[in-house]
Amino acid sequence: MTLKDVQMVLDARVLVGEEHLDREVRGACGSDMMSDVLAFSHDHAILLTGLTNPQVIRTVEMMDMVCVIFIRGKKPDATILQMARERGLTVLETDHRMFNACGMLYDAGLRGGH
């Protein structure tokens, strides 16, 4: 699955990183607790979260993830988008809730980590 596929499944808007939509996605993690994300060991994954602070971008970078998807229509501020841009990450936004978004991706064939 590519980030473009993820965007289409979730009817998501691209906020940053449209040029990276061809990247492969190997897994997904849905959490608002960055400590849980740090326990998730799967590169080339995406993070679905409602948390909109700079720690999200730092965590995604540390875990070699390729994309952050802000759920429930959450709007990250310009600082977060600039951090993502500088790190070559893709940022998407969807109106779906966490449970539904994760289920939609699962139904489309994307699985979680180890």
**71-111: pLDDT as tens digits:** 999 999 999 999 999 999 999 999 999 999 999 999 999 98
Flag whether 61 is in a domain. yes
- Residue 113 domain-assigned? no
**Residue among 76, 102, 95, 103 at smallest CA distance from 17:** 76
Residue 17 near residue 84, CB atoms below 8 Å: yes
- Tens digits of per-residue pLDDT, 19-41? 999 999 999 999 999 988 888 76
Q: Is residue 81 part of a domain?
A: yes
Tabulate helix, strand, coil % of the chain (nearest 5).
40, 20, 40
- The parent domain of residue 75 ranges over 3-107
pTM assigned to the model: 0.93
The total number of structural domains in the chain stands at 1
Q: Is residue 60 part of a domain?
A: yes
- 114 inside domain: no
CATH number at residue 37: 3.40.1390.20
